[in-house]
Structure 1
């Protein structure tokens, strides 16, 4: 579920609230600076992007096993984070899909009313 609200500075902020569907979520923290040489720059960028893409593929493959396990066991990870900074997420494990849906609605209401702000990034 996407929730839109105004933050303390008055600008619009969009949040994603829902069950975590991927097995894990890889993050790319930033690209390293490269020298001015365009050939060397391309090599450095590819050396960072290719492993990141491989990790994303691994996350998608792992999800094939994790999604049914979560559905059968009933253990779901519920997350809420601003889309501008997905690392600053609220996370909570719950024991059933119904409880996960209830928590999603609760967090969405709290975000809309300004009671739930971004969690400090680790």
Structure 2
């Protein structure tokens, strides 16, 4: 059986996301969950950067276009929040692109718009 990538760190991140869902439920805008997750990460001493611009490159040239993931936790885990009916291939592709741009290996999509529980996926590069 393969080891889980960044097991302890991702469990802490997921615990914080579950706590936000337990407290808030579904139905709010993504921006509301963004604020709640910031508070929860802070309360749980999870190191994070929020809304960090990622510089994209093409053949060694920096592009004006930027990617802005919702969070980078522990300096290694991309966390992308959604508040939609369900996670789609477009959301998965977005996280894959963030991983490629940062060279990180783990991304988590957390969808707070799903009922009756938080929908989430781990994305590996």
Superposition TM-score tier, normalisation by shorter sequence: under 0.3
Query: Which is strand-richer, 1 or 2?
Result: 2
Relative to the length of structure 1, the TM-score reads 0.26
Q: Specify which structure has the higher proportion of helix.
A: 1
Highest Rg: 1 or 2?
1
